[in-house]
Amino acid sequence: MDACRPPFAWTMASLLLLAVTCGAAELVKLDKPVQVSTVKADKKPLDGRLVSYDDEGFDLVRGRDKPIRVRWDELAAPGVYNVRAAIIGPRAGGEEWVDLGCIMLRTKGGEALAERAFARAVKLDPNLRAKVDEARSESASAVVVKSPGESGGPTESTTRQGGDEAAGGGPQMVGKAQSGAWPKLTEQQQAERVAELKKFADAAAKRMNKPLVLNETKYFLFYSDLPPQEAANWSGLLDRMYARLAELFAVDREKPAAEAGRPARSASRGGGEFVNVWAGKALVFVFQSADDYRRFQVSVHGTDPGGSAGMCHCFGDGIVHIAFYRQQDELTFAHVLVHESVHGFIHRFRSPATVPSWANEGLAEVIAAELVPQNGRAKQREALARESLRNRPELGHMVEQKHIEAWQYPVAETLCAFMIQQNKRNYVDFITGIKDGLTWEQSLEQRYKAPKDRLVAAYRQSLGLKN
């Protein structure tokens, strides 16, 4: 059976979506318009209500204007994914995500986005794994839809990590960063940074014509359109994340006023609150609506969010912007909220030096899993990692990749958890070594005290796999 051919049990939305790439010439008119917010291949924003589509393109309405025609080949792969994901909607079943994955395999540069769709499908229905594997095997002979755009990965200026963990992205710098350690900011400089961030947030709210309420904590500027109590709860979770990371990485604590002039106490001995590592504070936006989140990324950051649930923008001058939408499942949203914020913290820890994708994503998953516990998740992630590595040598080239792939997230998470469990202090020294200028291989051997081959062998053995 062709894995990309829908059985009769699939929904009409899925069938109509597949028809776009199968040569159907008839125009499909939607009973209810779909809001679209993305960017075209030439980076120009594309917003409006999609009212109809066919195999050539789709019709978009902006305000009270007449519909405009947009051709599919005017979009790069991320735009194609974004529009078609909007057509099937957030409540689509696993089969529809398999369908979308097949479409992206036929789109130039859409391989990574196909993996995102497949990961969502398997997450919704694990029984679809065989169908997904079949679709991948057929992709070599698939017809590619020509597109002027490039790959479906994150834009140069951002990091992307969706709730389906299939973005295949990782933190990327926006703008050139200074070399060496981050400079220590005075209280006046910190206050000026905070004022600049608030000014940016106010301008963003005006640009979107959407009121956003500030919930300010010691370390975060949390802007949202959520109910006040819910906003307070989520900003409190971010403060707990900060404290957990600050404790793990031995960030200094502030000296109480009464101890001014005395030698500083170590973080492990308690004392005052942790020193603020942010440049000002971390700026966080949370929207109730996924459409508002996507509109924000396009209009404010000039970034196509694709199917992501959250994105972290790490700037070369040290500023960190993080944005999300409030997913319906509370635990899923909380996990993404913490995950993306960990990326921001790592960006600001010691220096702008980049931590490799597998280590960065792995740590983000470990901290998110710790602060947002879910029954059975640890065993499930271990099982996924074991299955992913069963027929792959070592780690399937994960450590060499600039951005890890969807299937590698459970591997990165369980490897990171294994390293911390074996020796937490050495793990912290490993990350610190990278931030201080060592390559990750050098830091692994010199700071963690275990070269790659020995670490991989021990990790695979912990999963019950042969080396």
Closest residue by Cα to residue 215 from 240, 203, 199, 198: 198
DSSP label at residue 417: H
Supply φ then ψ for residue 211, to 5 degrees.
-65, 135
Of 153, 178, 206, the residue that ends a domain is 153
> Is residue 159, in this structure, part of any structural domain at all?
no
Distance CA 357, CA 396 (A): 14
**pLDDT score of 177:** 58
**Is 126 found in the same domain as 228?**
no
Rounded-to-10 torsion of CA 247, 370, 416, 177 = -60
Confidence class of residue 216 from pLDDT cuts 50, 70 and 90? very high
Of 103, 135, 153, the residue that ends a domain is 153
The better pLDDT of the pair 302, 196 is held by 196
Of 308, 335, 362, the residue that ends a domain is 335
> Is residue 373, in this structure, part of any structural domain at all?
yes
**Is 146 found in the same domain as 191?**
no
> Is residue 387, in this structure, part of any structural domain at all?
yes
Range of the domain at 305: 187-335
**pLDDT score of 41:** 78
Q: Is the pLDDT of residue 421 over 90?
A: yes
Q: Residues 231-258: pLDDT tens digits?
A: 999 999 999 999 999 998 988 888 765 5
**Is 452 found in the same domain as 362?**
yes
Rounded-to-10 torsion of CA 325, 328, 330, 334 = -20
Q: What is the mean pLDDT of the chain?
A: 80
> Is residue 168, in this structure, part of any structural domain at all?
no
**pLDDT score of 24:** 43
> Is residue 181, in this structure, part of any structural domain at all?
no
Number of domains the chain contains: 3
**pLDDT score of 305:** 80
Q: Pick the range with the lowest mean pLDDT from 180-184, 352-356, 418-422.
A: 180-184
Q: Position of tokens 């990590």? A: 161
Q: Identify which of 126-135, 157-166, 181-190 has the greatest average pLDDT.
A: 181-190
Closest residue by Cα to residue 105 from 93, 95, 115: 115
CA atoms within 13 A of residue 277's CA, in its CB half-sphere: 26
Mean pLDDT calculated for residue range 260-266: 43
Task: Bin 149: left if φ > 0, else alpha if -120 < ψ < 50, else beta.
Answer: beta
**Is 369 found in the same domain as 287?**
no
Confidence class of residue 264 from pLDDT cuts 50, 70 and 90? very low
**Is 121 found in the same domain as 54?**
yes
Helix count and strand count (H, E) for the chain: 15, 11
> Is residue 70, in this structure, part of any structural domain at all?
yes
What residues have CB less than 8 Å from 454, skipping those under 6 apart? Answer: none
**Is 55 found in the same domain as 114?**
yes
Q: Is the pLDDT of residue 127 over 60?
A: yes
**Is 357 found in the same domain as 327?**
no
Q: How far apart are the first and last CA of the chain?
A: 35
CATH label of the domain that carries residue 213: 3.40.30
Mean pLDDT calculated for residue range 86-111: 83
**pLDDT score of 23:** 40
**Is 330 found in the same domain as 192?**
yes
Helix axes of 409-422 and 377-389: crossing angle, nearest 10 degrees: 110
> Is residue 279, in this structure, part of any structural domain at all?
yes
Confidence class of residue 154 from pLDDT cuts 50, 70 and 90? very low
Mean pLDDT calculated for residue range 289-301: 88
Q: Pick the range with the lowest mean pLDDT from 268-272, 276-280, 401-405.
A: 268-272
Mean pLDDT calculated for residue range 288-316: 85
Length of the chain equals 467
**pLDDT score of 457:** 92
State the amino acid at position 400 in one-letter form.
Answer: E
**Is 198 found in the same domain as 140?**
no
> Is residue 238, in this structure, part of any structural domain at all?
yes
Q: Residues 7-31: pLDDT tens digits?
A: 333 343 443 444 444 444 478 888 8
Collapsing DSSP to helix, strand or coil, 421 comes out as: helix
Percent of the chain with pLDDT over 90: 36
Angle at 319 between CA 370 and CA 173, to 5 degrees: 85
**Is 301 found in the same domain as 252?**
yes
Q: Position of tokens 């019950």? A: 464
Q: How far is CA 46 from the centre of its chain?
A: 22
Rounded-to-10 torsion of CA 139, 143, 149, 154 = -20
Q: Is the pLDDT of residue 263 over 70?
A: no
**Is 414 found in the same domain as 327?**
no
**Is 331 found in the same domain as 192?**
yes
**pLDDT score of 198:** 96
**pLDDT score of 428:** 94
Strands 220-224 and 282-287 turn out to be parallel
**pLDDT score of 11:** 43
Q: Return the CA Rg of the chain.
A: 23
Q: Report DSSP letters for 247-311, one per residue.
A: HHTTPPBPPPGGGTTSPPPPGGG--SPBP--SSS-EEEEEES-HHHHHHHHHHHH----TT-SEE
Q: Residues 395-409: pLDDT tens digits?
A: 868 888 888 888 889
Judge contact between 107 and 147, C-beta under 8 A. Answer: yes
DSSP label at residue 53: E
**pLDDT score of 26:** 73
Q: Which long-range contacts (CB under 8 A, 24 or more apart) does 180-189 make?
A: 180/351, 181/350, 181/351, 182/277, 182/279, 182/318, 182/348, 182/350, 182/351, 182/352, 185/279
Judge contact between 82 and 38, C-beta under 8 A. Answer: yes
Angle at 36 between CA 34 and CA 38, to 5 degrees: 165
Q: Is the pLDDT of residue 134 over 80?
A: no
What residues have CB less than 8 Å from 257, skipping those under 6 apart? Answer: none
State the amino acid at position 322 in one-letter form.
Answer: I
291, burial (CB in 10 Å: exposed 0-12, middle 13-18, buried 19+): middle
State the amino acid at position 441 in one-letter form.
Answer: E
Judge contact between 306 and 152, C-beta under 8 A. Answer: yes
SS (H, E, C) 309-378: CEEEEEECCCCEEEEEECCCCHHHHHHHHHHHHHHHHHHHCCCCCCCCHHHHHHHHHHHHHHHCCCCCHH
Mean pLDDT calculated for residue range 53-76: 85
